[in-house]
Amino acid sequence: MTKIPAKPKGAAVKPRTRIQRAKREAILEAGLDVFSQEGFRGATLDRIAKAAGLSKPNLLYYYPSKDAIHEALLRGLLDTWLAPLGAMDPDGDPLTEILSYVQGKLALSRDYPRESRLFANEILRGAPNMKPMLQTHLRQMVEDHAAIIRGWIDAGRIAPVDPVHLIFSIWALTQHYADFEVQVRAVMGEDHDPFPGAAAHLDTLFRRMLSPA
Amino acid sequence: MTKIPAKPKGAAVKPRTRIQRAKREAILEAGLDVFSQEGFRGATLDRIAKAAGLSKPNLLYYYPSKDAIHEALLRGLLDTWLAPLGAMDPDGDPLTEILSYVQGKLALSRDYPRESRLFANEILRGAPNMKPMLQTHLRQMVEDHAAIIRGWIDAGRIAPVDPVHLIFSIWALTQHYADFEVQVRAVMGEDHDPFPGAAAHLDTLFRRMLSPA
DNA sequence: CGTCCGTTTTACCGAATGGTCAAATAAGAC
DNA sequence: GTCTTATTTGACCATTCGGTAAAACGGACG
């Protein structure tokens, strides 16, 4: 890489080199581990640094503060966590659309439990860093989906339900298997994988609730 | 109160006087506030003491450590949180039994959201202080209830479902309105009370899922 | 070689935190 | 009033925490 002029000197503002990108990625990975387990206040820079294989000052060379790491992770949640929410085709078969959304969300809980717990921790604290986003972005998303669902109901294609509470139900039921994994495993046994059973159960649940009378 | 011989000198071991009981109660109340909002690590003795109207050393006179307060609160959860679980009459009408259990649990979320969030925080951290209890007490409770439900299913009195996942569903759906209250309010609007709608929705949901075919 | 520049480390700082101690202060019991 | 015991307080401590400063390192390029 040849010398680039006008290189902003405020070290590590945007990931330029592959190395920087990799280290910042490692830090986010470590931060996700620690924040999702311990919550924001419980997480320490030392633990994150150690988990990322860096010294604390070195970590702070890439991210200027603990808050910065946390906020970067929360911003990342928008992609990993809320993007799959964007998929509900008003022209598709209602039950199929909803059921596959449910299964997709359940798969997220299985494959990205740390992200789910990070989000849960943030909400539990009162969402100090996400409230504006929830009140705008998420709210809009819910309203859009609710409108679609309401359309299906009005057309008699699924049984009538409150669309907003239906969406809450999907979130609650799927995220439960990530956020309360410890409880689920304590009840079902440590070696028992709860997800296949959960997938079948949720399919049954929503199918029966929504099948038109 | 006359002199009691062999009075254990390790100050404030068990609440003897009315005053002691009141102060310990105030501390638990303050601790519930702070722990449920901030999580274990986020809660500080200073904040708890201030919320309880005491100085920090005075607080530590009644409870020997931060852990002691936290553990006392978690022990208390068994009564406030899991006791209403004890009520499912195998000889009652299945749907009525389950639906009233659901409504009872939802009322808990409405009336004791701090307890729900305290529990959620503990589970999210991996339940370091409750795991043994979950694996014994709670597991047993779930198995007992599952057996009752399975009996109802075998008798054809409700539609077949996985009883354990059914119980998880009830917990997830009801606790969601306490633990994710901020999100619910952000989506529905701050002034909108979600609980009436939730009650109706959950009644519909479980009724449709469980009504025999 | 030296120099430049991004990176890493060592040493450190001030504030916060969980907790202690001993002295001061209520609060009965007699 | 006085003795005893329970309670409260202020001063303090060791550790941890988030963060800083500056020096040392290391590779790319002339």
Work out the pLDDT band at A85, boundaries 50, 70, 90: low
Work out the pLDDT band at A79, boundaries 50, 70, 90: confident
Residue segments in chain B with a per-residue pLDDT below the cut of 70? 1-16, 85
**Chain A CB within 8 Å of residue B13 CB:** no
In angstroms, the Cα distances linking A114 to A38, B116, B173 are: 11, 21, 21
Mutation target to probe the A interface, by most A beta carbons within 10 A, among B116, B134, B188, B208 is: B208
Does residue A180 contact residue B123 with C-beta atoms inside 8 Å? yes
Of B127, B186, B188, which has the smallest distance from its Cβ to A183's Cβ? B127
Amino acid in position B55: S
- Positive or negative: CA dihedral B92, B94, B99, B101: positive
Helical pair B18-42 and B45-52, crossing angle rounded to 10 deg: 140
Which tokens hold the place of B161? 């479902």
Given an 8 Å threshold on Cβ–Cβ distance, is A120 in contact with B123? no
Q: Record the pTM.
A: 0.92
Work out the pLDDT band at A22, boundaries 50, 70, 90: confident
Does residue A12 contact residue A51 with C-beta atoms inside 8 Å? no
Length of chain A (residues): 213
What domains can you pick out in chain B, each with its CATH number? 18-64 (1.10.10.60), 75-210 (1.10.357.10)
CA B25 to chain A, closest CA, distance in angstroms equals 24
Angle at A156 between CA A150 and CA A157, to 5 degrees: 85
CB atoms closer than 10 angstroms to residue A151: 13
A83 CA to C12 C1', in Å?
44
Which tokens hold the place of B86? 């004890």
Does residue B52 contact residue B59 with C-beta atoms inside 8 Å? yes
Which residues numbered 53-112 in A keep a CB inside 8 Å of some CB on B? none
Nearest to A148 by CA among A97, A99, A105: A97
pLDDT in tens, A147-202: 999 999 999 999 999 999 999 999 999 999 999 999 999 999 999 999 999 999 99
Q: How far apart are CA A60 and CA A171, in angstroms?
A: 35
Work out the pLDDT band at A49, boundaries 50, 70, 90: very high
Which residues numbered 145-164 in B keep a CB inside 8 Å of some CB on A? 159, 161-162, 164
Does residue A54 contact residue A48 with C-beta atoms inside 8 Å? no
Which residue minimizes Cα–C1' distance to D10?
A: B57
CA A191 to chain B, closest CA, distance in angstroms equals 13
**Chain B CB within 8 Å of residue A41 CB:** yes
For chain B, the distance separating the N- and C-terminal CA atoms, rounded to the nearest angstrom, is 66
- Positive or negative: CA dihedral A62, A77, B175, A103: negative
- Positive or negative: CA dihedral A126, A129, A132, A135: negative
pLDDT in tens, B81-136: 877 767 789 999 999 999 999 999 999 999 999 999 999 999 999 999 999 999 99
Q: How far apart are CA B18 and CA B20, in angstroms?
A: 5
Residue that has been written with the tokens 């949720």 in this structure: A202
Nearest to B120 by CA among B202, B38, B195, B63: B38
3-state helix, strand, coil in chain B (%, to 5): 75, 0, 25
A2 touches strand D (CB under 7 A): yes
Residues by Cβ under 7 A, strand C: A 7, 9, 11-12, 17, 19-20, 23, 54-58, 61; B 1-3, 43-46, 56-57, 60, 64-67
Which tokens hold the place of B109? 């979320």
Given an 8 Å threshold on Cβ–Cβ distance, is B166 in contact with A201? yes
Tell me which chain A residues have a C-beta less than 8 angstroms from the C-beta of B47. Answer: none
Residue A6 has pLDDT above 70, yes or no: no
* pLDDT number for residue B13: 40
Q: What is the DSSP letter of A91?
A: T
Residues 6+ apart with CB under 8 A from B33: B51, B114
